[in-house]
Amino acid sequence: MAIDLRSDTVTRPSDGMRQAIVHAEVGDDVLGDDPTVRALEERTAELLGKEAALFTPTGTMANQLALRAQTSPGDEVLLDRHSHVIHYESGAAAAHSGVQFRTFEAPRGGFTADDLKPLRRPTHYTLPHVSLIEMENTHNHRGGEVFELERMRDVWAWACEQGLRVHLDGARLWNASVASGVAPADYAACAHTVSVCFSKGLGAPVGSALVGDSETVRRAHRLRKMFGGGMRQVGILAAAASYGLDYNLQRLHEDHRRAAALARAVATCTRLRLARPVETNILILEVVDPNDTPQRLSHELRAHGVLANPWEARTLRMVTHLDFDDAALARTCEVVRELRS
């Protein structure tokens, strides 16, 4: 069986998680009758220090609900130009919310209010109305980079001063918390709404959540139905997410340890080098030879039983996860070291 490092979404439910799914108590969630969903939402809200939470099938839906619930058509959102909501959500913000993005190049470790201040437009009827700031932690495109808490707090303070809403794309916030030692609620305190994912890192087959104040989550609940995300006996999926919180959250440091070990193996390879420092479970690898390509290297790795995605014009991405154990790590390191020009 191939060693699959294309994403941390490739994991399969463990036997324990499958048993949790089988024995889940369920009801009709559209009617508000699924006790397992309600328990997961209450637990997630408490973990993140918010009033309420809403279970969603995907992280994209959670992010898009946050945008729609906190903006009006024609509004402007300030965010890093490499953000997930720009590149990997199929243009949904334009289609569903009618907003436009005003982007900037964020420095390593996240951005601060000083990076945002030049983007704040004067108030005039001819200009777009800036209503929302979006942050991402960890940052997918930037190789699992952790957004530093003090920088987030600086952004939050300025946003509150300016009367702007803040959304945190925390699909891998669990990774940020384990890597930094900062509690998820401390990160979440820097935003009005936060999305978190249960199928990245925590190993659930499906599911994310949007958390925030009760009124915003109430609006998002209606929008979820509008977007086609109302689900029925979905406790079977919520049970998997709860299992992930119980058993797979604290083990994320193992994914980070293996990513660091794999990074050391890459340092011995003549055809690949790290494009970014490895902070959590994502490696962005740059192709050294200008005549070589990520596609060619991806095919060679696949021939040796290792799956890695071409990422950009000159890079590949590898992501460690709970199905990537020490034996798979040893084999992958061996394959990487043996790559020859």
- The pLDDT of residue 317 is 97
| Torsion sign (Cα): 232, 207, 37, 214 | negative
Q: Are 270 and 66 in contact (CB under 8 A)?
A: no
Residue with tokens 């139905």: 225
Mean pLDDT to the nearest integer, 121-137? 94
Among candidate residues 291, 303, 290, the one with its CA nearest the CA of residue 339:
303
Mean pLDDT to the nearest integer, 227-240? 95
Residues 196-207 have pLDDT tens digits of 999 999 999 999
Position 338 pLDDT exceeds 80: yes
Position 340 pLDDT exceeds 80: no
Residue with tokens 């596609």: 295
- The pLDDT of residue 167 is 98
d(CA 147, CA 134): 12
d(CA 86, CA 226): 22
What tokens were used for 258?
A: 């293996």
Contacts 24+ apart (CB under 8 A), 115-120: 116/78, 116/155, 116/158, 117/158, 119/78, 120/162
What pTM value is reported for the model?
0.96
d(CA 49, CA 46): 5
- The pLDDT of residue 233 is 95
pLDDT band at 341 (very low <50, low <70, confident <90, very high): low
Among candidate residues 128, 133, 88, 127, the one with its CA nearest the CA of residue 106:
133
Q: Are 271 and 287 in contact (CB under 8 A)?
A: yes
Work out the widest C-alpha separation in the chain, in whole angstroms. 61
Position 33 pLDDT exceeds 90: yes
- The pLDDT of residue 109 is 85
Q: Are 40 and 187 in contact (CB under 8 A)?
A: no
Task: Show the 3-state SS of the chain.
Answer: CCEECCCCCCCCCCHHHHHHHHCCCCCCHHHCCCHHHHHHHHHHHHHCCCCEEEEECCHHHHHHHHHHHHCCCCCEEEEECCCHHHHCCCCHHHHHHCCEEEEECCCCCCCCHHHHHHHCCCCCCCCCCEEEEEEECCECCCCCECCCHHHHHHHHHHHHHHCCEEEEEECCHHHHHHHHCCCHHHHHCCCCEEEEECCCCCCCCCCEEEEECHHHHHHHHHHHHHCCCCCCCCHHHHHHHHHHHHHCCCCHHHHHHHHHHHHHHHCCCCCEEECCCCCCCEEEEEECCCCCCHHHHHHHHHHCCEECEEEECCEEEEECCCCCCHHHHHHHHHHHHCCCC
d(CA 264, CA 243): 32
Mean pLDDT to the nearest integer, 100-124? 93
- The pLDDT of residue 241 is 98
pLDDT band at 1 (very low <50, low <70, confident <90, very high): confident
Q: Length of the chain, please?
A: 341
- The pLDDT of residue 197 is 98
Residues 161-179 have pLDDT tens digits of 999 999 999 999 999 999 9
Q: What domains lie within the chain, and their CATH numbers?
A: 15-247 (3.40.640.10), 251-337 (3.90.1150.10)
What tokens were used for 39?
A: 């328990």
